[in-house]
Amino acid sequence: MPDEESPKVEVVVSDKSSKPRNMTPVYMAVIAVVFLGIGFFARGSVTGAVVAGESKDVAASKAASFINSNLLSAGQTASVTSVNESNGMYVVTLSINGQSAGSVYVSKDGNYLILGTVLDMNKALPREEESESAAATEIPKSDRPSVELFVMSFCPYGVQAEQAMAPVVELLGDKADIKVRFIASASGTNLSSIRSLHGNIEGVEDARQLCIAENYDTATYWKYLAEINSKCYPIYRSGDAAYDACWKAAAATAGIDVGTVEGCLSSEGVALINAESAAADAYGVSGSPTLIINGGIYSGGRTPEAFKTAICNAFNEAPSECGQTLSAAGASTASGGCA
């Protein structure tokens, strides 16, 4: 199970296989931008021609300074590990707080930084609709599909997946059993022993949401989740006191009694996390988000419509609601993850 580690973001870029693979380009946790430097390409700088400009060491240093000033959170520092030339660009390998964090690309004139996955334009990418259709045919069918969305509370891609799933929950109601589940573990018997990739504060929020799901109805849980994702997730690095005030305000907005939640946390929090850990291990889940439908791993798109289609295809007899098309407005199409 994931443990708290030095600040970095491990991004999984889906290759549409049944299990995500790890890749580690440098990303700030709250940024889902795949490419910066579009103007660089638009001006035709990647042509294979020699471009006069900065030395590789100067360009690498400039890239690290830009990343530190603009992309990383307080307490995170990127350092250059190595720099090489490839395909008319500088490839700058970085570490963040001493931990390997992958590579970025810098134009030889030192003006453009490129983040993200390198795509080989000689190879076709699978069409999204084809991937979604293939994924749907691999999912077993049932009268009431079991849908388990495994996330880490403070993983940006997990948050995006929750936001994409929310309209599906509203549409299908209790016709499908849709649950948010968590990737965390506990090494002891108290809340301070809960471990998660983004720290104990994330693990405790995971347990808190499990308590809310256990004690309140689905609509109340998702109302709380919407408040957490929009207001509290963005400030979780601001300290325990700020986050404590934020989740309590979110609970009040959703009509949740703080005392009930805190009582559940004290008596059941660790046990609930242990159950999540066992479930994740049983499925072989380690990356956030991972969607399990009727025990099968879904590997399609991450929009409300894509999620709805996959779940509706898992019914023995789909309800009439499945005929409705969900808007993709504001929905994420990101394919990364935290692991």
One digit per residue, pLDDT tens: the chain, 339 residues? 454 433 333 333 333 333 333 333 344 433 333 333 333 333 333 334 444 567 889 988 998 899 888 876 566 788 899 999 888 889 888 887 776 667 788 988 888 888 766 667 877 765 544 444 444 447 889 999 999 999 999 999 999 999 999 999 999 999 999 999 999 999 999 999 999 999 999 999 999 999 999 999 999 999 999 999 999 999 999 999 999 999 999 999 999 999 999 999 999 999 999 999 999 999 999 899 999 999 999 988 999 999 999 999 999 999 999 999 997 654 555 567 897
The reported pLDDT for the residue numbered 329 is 56
Q: What is the spatial distance between Cα 250 and Cα 305, in angstroms, rounded to a whole number?
A: 27
CATH number of the domain bearing residue 263: 3.40.30.10
Q: What is the spatial distance between Cα 224 and Cα 247, in angstroms, rounded to a whole number?
A: 9
Give the residue ranges of DSSP H helices in the chain.
38-42, 56-70, 128-137, 156-172, 200-215, 218-227, 240-254, 258-283, 304-312
Evaluate whether residue 328 is within a structural domain: no
Q: Are residues 108 and 169 in the same domain?
A: no
Evaluate whether residue 142 is within a structural domain: yes
Contact residues for 299 (Cβ-Cβ < 8 A; gap 6+): 14, 16, 17, 18, 131, 135
Q: What is the spatial distance between Cα 264 and Cα 231, in angstroms, rounded to a whole number?
A: 23
Sheet holding 177-182, edge to edge: 177-182, 146-151, 290-293, 296-298
Backbone angles phi, psi at 297, to 5 degrees: -85, 120
Evaluate whether residue 11 is within a structural domain: no
Q: Are residues 196 and 87 in the same domain?
A: no
Contact residues for 304 (Cβ-Cβ < 8 A; gap 6+): 164, 165, 166, 167, 168, 326, 327, 328, 331
What is the domain range of residue 74?
35-114
Residue whose structure tokens are 């077993």: 140
Q: Could you tell me the CA-to-CA distances from 296 to 136, 142, 171 in Å, in that order? A: 10, 12, 22
Per the structure block, which two tokens stand in for 279? 């479930």
Q: Are residues 147 and 233 in the same domain?
A: yes
Evaluate whether residue 143 is within a structural domain: yes
Evaluate whether residue 1 is within a structural domain: no
Q: Are residues 157 and 230 in the same domain?
A: yes
Q: Are residues 195 and 83 in the same domain?
A: no
Q: Are residues 141 and 260 in the same domain?
A: yes
Q: Are residues 297 and 203 in the same domain?
A: yes
Q: What is the spatial distance between Cα 233 and Cα 227, in angstroms, rounded to a whole number?
A: 9
Q: What is the spatial distance between Cα 295 and Cα 148, in angstroms, rounded to a whole number?
A: 9
Q: Into how many domains does the chain fold?
A: 2
CB 206 within 8 A of CB 225: no
Residue whose structure tokens are 């002891």: 188
Evaluate whether residue 17 is within a structural domain: no
Q: Are residues 295 and 257 in the same domain?
A: yes
Handedness of CA 74, 65, 154, 6 (dihedral sign): negative
The reported pLDDT for the residue numbered 103 is 79
Among 87, 114, 141, where does a domain finish? 114
CB atoms within 10 A of CB 198: 24
Q: Are residues 211 and 274 in the same domain?
A: yes
Q: Are residues 157 and 291 in the same domain?
A: yes
Evaluate whether residue 184 is within a structural domain: yes
Q: Are residues 152 and 235 in the same domain?
A: yes
Evaluate whether residue 140 is within a structural domain: yes
Among 90, 114, 138, where does a domain finish? 114
Q: Are residues 183 and 296 in the same domain?
A: yes
Q: For the chain, what is the largest distance between any 2 Cα atoms, rounded to a whole number of angstroms?
A: 66
Per the structure block, which two tokens stand in for 303? 């929009």
